Chain A
Amino acid sequence: MQSITDQFFNLTIMAKTLPLMLSGLWMTAQLCAAVILLGLVGGLLVALANISPRAWLRIPSIVFTDIFRALPPLVLLIFIYSGLPFAGVEISPFAAVALAFLLNNSSYYAEVYRAGILSVGKGQWEAARSTGLTKAQTLSSVVLPQAIRNVLPDLLSNTVEVVKLTSLASVVSLSELLYNANMARSITYNASPLVLAALIYLVILWPVVRLVSRFQRKLAA
């Protein structure tokens, strides 16, 4: 029992590696800010293309979402990080992660937005258009606010997934939370830093996961 505590919940080691973990957390936070923002904006654009009546916009955007729903994000990340240099494009780990997740997350967010936009009744479009609002105005003032409210739980749960995905950046040696934790583990020969990293993720994400569940129950009721 003692040995298990020592191996997994060694407070001395946790305390010693805390600064390293916090600097990793800071990188994770920056990464989250970048990829969530990129995903939310990219996803909206893809969703709008997805429901466009113009085939030259719609068909490529549907192919886009299908392909990036099928490709594992890690494969995409490795492809960009290790593959692009072969084409003569040097790319930093941060940029590789941002680009990979822009592609991956846009297609996921797009699906959520699309469902939201379709959940707003045709009557809302007609009412707004009949008062002389343009298509763009109708979309931004009338349809999107309702659409986003309708799919808020899904947007939130997708964002949880995005945050979890940033841990993949450790594979391309970006010194975010998991990378630093794993480095600390290999230096100390002790799993406590990994446990600490898990606890940090839990502290941040558990409340959000609870919130999503509560939201969903409220919508179902």
Chain B
Amino acid sequence: MQNFLQTFFNTKVMAQYLPDILSGMLVAIWIGLAVVVAGIAGGLALACLRTYRIRACNVFIICFADIFRALPPLVLILLLYFGLPGAGIRLSGPMVLFIVLALTLAAFAEEIFWAGFASIEKGQWEAGISTGLGFSRTLIYVALPQAVRLAMPPLVNRVLAITKMTALGSVIGVSEILSAATTAQSFSGSATPLSMAAIAYLILFLPLVFVARMVERRQDMRRGR
């Protein structure tokens, strides 16, 4: 037991590398927030655009959403980080991470919002249009609020899954939590930094897990389960 603590929870190592882990957390938070804002805004815009049913537009949106839902983000990250320089474009690690995760979240968010729009009764649209709101205002004032409410539980879950992927940044040298931890691990020769990384992620994401649970429960109650 003493040995175990010494290996995984060595207080001396903890104290030494805490600043690195903390700055890693900060990086993860910044990239995560940027991904969430850009991804949700992008997904919502695409879903709204899709309601106008412009053929060429919708084909593009559907292909975009399908491709980014089907591709593993790590493949895209490696492609952008190692491949793009060959075309003369050099992006920083954090930038690549942000672009890939934001596009991935946008693809999922589009599908989730679209499912929300699709499950709104036709009568809601008809009521809005027949009271002279016009299509766009019906979209904004009538359909959108209902779609967003329906989208909340799956959206929160998806946000959680994708912001967790900031850990993939360690593969391309983004100095977030995991890369700080693996670097510290090899310098210190101790597993303690890895435990610190795990704890740091739990501190960041357990609250989101609880939020996801709460949102789900509220939705279930509204449906009267």
Residues of A within 8 A of B (CB): 3-4, 7-8, 66-67, 69-76, 78-79, 82-83, 86-87, 118-119, 160-161, 164-168, 170-171, 178, 181-182, 185-186, 189-191, 194-195, 197-198, 201-202, 205-206, 208-210, 213, 216-217, 220
Contact = CB atoms under 8 A, between A and B. Distances in A.
A195 B205 contact: no
B118 A201 contact: no
5 smallest beta-carbon distances between A and B, as pairs: A191-B83, A86-B191, A205-B70, A70-B205, A72-B167
Contacts of B212: 69
B185 interface: yes
Interface string B1-42: 000100110000000000000000000000000000000000
A166 B75 CA distance: 11
Contacts of A170: 74
A206 B84 CA distance: 24
B127 interface: no
Contacts, number: 153
Contacts of B82: 182, 185-186, 191, 194
A160 B212 CA distance: 21
B146 interface: no
A171 B171 contact: yes
B74 A83 contact: no
A72 B87 contact: no
A168 B72 CA distance: 9
Contacts of A171: 74, 171
A198 B75 contact: yes
Most chain B CB inside 10 Å of its own CB: which residue of A79, A170, A186, A208: A79
Q: At the interface, is chain A mostly helix, strand, loop or mixed?
A: helix
A180 to B, nearest CB: 12
Contacts of A118: 220, 225
B209 A70 contact: yes
Contacts of A205: 70-71
29 contacts: A7-B86, A8-B87, A69-B209, A69-B212, A70-B164, A71-B198, A71-B201, A72-B178, A73-B164, A75-B197, A78-B181, A79-B195, A82-B194, A83-B195, A86-B7, A87-B8, A87-B191, A160-B70, A171-B74, A178-B75, A178-B78, A186-B82, A191-B83, A191-B84, A191-B86, A194-B75, A194-B83, A198-B75, A209-B66
A74 B167 contact: yes
Interface residues of B, number: 56
B79 A83 contact: no
B205 A71 contact: yes
Contacts of A197: 75
Nearest to A212: B69
A69 B160 CA distance: 8
Most chain B CB inside 10 Å of its own CB: which residue of A86, A202, A208: A86
B70 to A, nearest CB: 4
Contacts of A161: 161
B70 A202 contact: yes
B118 A220 contact: yes
Interface string B62-93: 00001101111111101100111011000000
